């Protein structure tokens, strides 16, 4: 497990939010690292919410001097269309971040739809075991909540295996620790996460 700054020589910190490299995102990182070899200077980046895709996009734009269009499905289609054409003309890289690529991302403008359909795409995957544990540990540490390996292993086996699920668990444990002025333990985590609906009681 390493920070993205190590293989890509990018800033390892933005807003104290480090991007952790793992099997879930290594292919994306490699693709962005070799942007000069792209067949066209544009890529669509997709991935689950809270997966670090926006942070990765900002780091990419900072490193390359390229352009980032985040939450692209919310933008005016004409804006995305002109950005695509501009990237082709200038050869300045363009990274388009979206929930999904076409056809799942329904695009009404025919010329834009055809361009996006032909655009290379990469996707951040759901967290693997190693990344899940690392994000839990880091998330709790950022809240000033040191967690022993036994607690991280217990949490990893029970919470929803998603980036949103990780954040929900960390938020709930943070609130419980502040309210009870108690260090994190497995019994406290079990009670807190069951009461908060983060895990079930089975």
For residues 76 and 128, is the Cβ–Cβ distance under 8 A?
Answer: no
| pLDDT tens track for 52-98 | 899 899 999 999 999 999 999 999 999 999 999 999 999 999 999 99
Convert 70-126 into a string of H (helix), E (strand) and C (coil).
Answer: CCHHHCCHHHHHHHHHHHHHHCCCEEEEECCCCCCCCCCCHHHHHHHHCCCEEECCC
- The CATH label, of 3.40.220.10, 3.40.50.300, 3.30.70.20, 1.20.1440.60, for the domain at 2-123 is 3.40.50.300
Specify the pLDDT at position 123. Answer: 97
Tell me the residue ranges of DSSP E strands in the chain: 2-3, 20-21, 42-46, 67-69, 94-98, 121-123
- Residues in the chain where the model's pLDDT stays below 50: 1-13, 15-17
Specify the pLDDT at position 11. Answer: 39
Instruction: Centre a 10 Å sphere on the Cβ of residue 3 and count the other Cβ atoms it contains.
Output: 15
Specify the pLDDT at position 4. Answer: 39
Specify the pLDDT at position 18. Answer: 65
Specify the pLDDT at position 13. Answer: 46
Return the domain boundaries, the chain: 2-123, 129-195
The CATH class of 129-195 is mainly alpha
Specify the pLDDT at position 202. Answer: 63
Could you say which DSSP state residue 147 is in?
-
């Amino acid at each position: 497990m390493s920070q993205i700054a190590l293989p890509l020589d990018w800033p390892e910190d933005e807003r104290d939010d480090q991007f952790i490299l793992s099997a879930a995102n290594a292919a994306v990182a490699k693709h962005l690292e070799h942007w000069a070899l792209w067949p066209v200077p544009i890529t669509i980046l997709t991935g689950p919410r809270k997966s670090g895709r926006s942070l990765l996009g900002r780091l990419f734009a900072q490193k390359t001097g390229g352009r980032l269009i985040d939450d692209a499905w919310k933008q005016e289609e004409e804006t995305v269309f002109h950005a695509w054409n501009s990237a082709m003309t200038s050869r300045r890289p363009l990274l388009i971040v979206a929930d999904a690529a076409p056809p799942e991302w329904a695009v009404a403008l025919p010329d834009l739809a055809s361009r996006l359909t032909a655009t290379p795409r990469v996707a951040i995957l759901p967290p693997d075991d190693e990344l899940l544990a690392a994000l839990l540990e880091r998330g709790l540490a950022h809240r000033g909540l040191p967690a022993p390996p036994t607690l991280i292993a217990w949490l990893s086996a029970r919470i929803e295996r998603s980036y949103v699920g990780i954040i929900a668990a960390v938020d709930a444990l943070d609130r419980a620790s502040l309210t009870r002025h108690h260090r994190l333990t497995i019994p406290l985590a079990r009670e807190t996460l069951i009461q908060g609906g983060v895990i079930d009681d089975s």
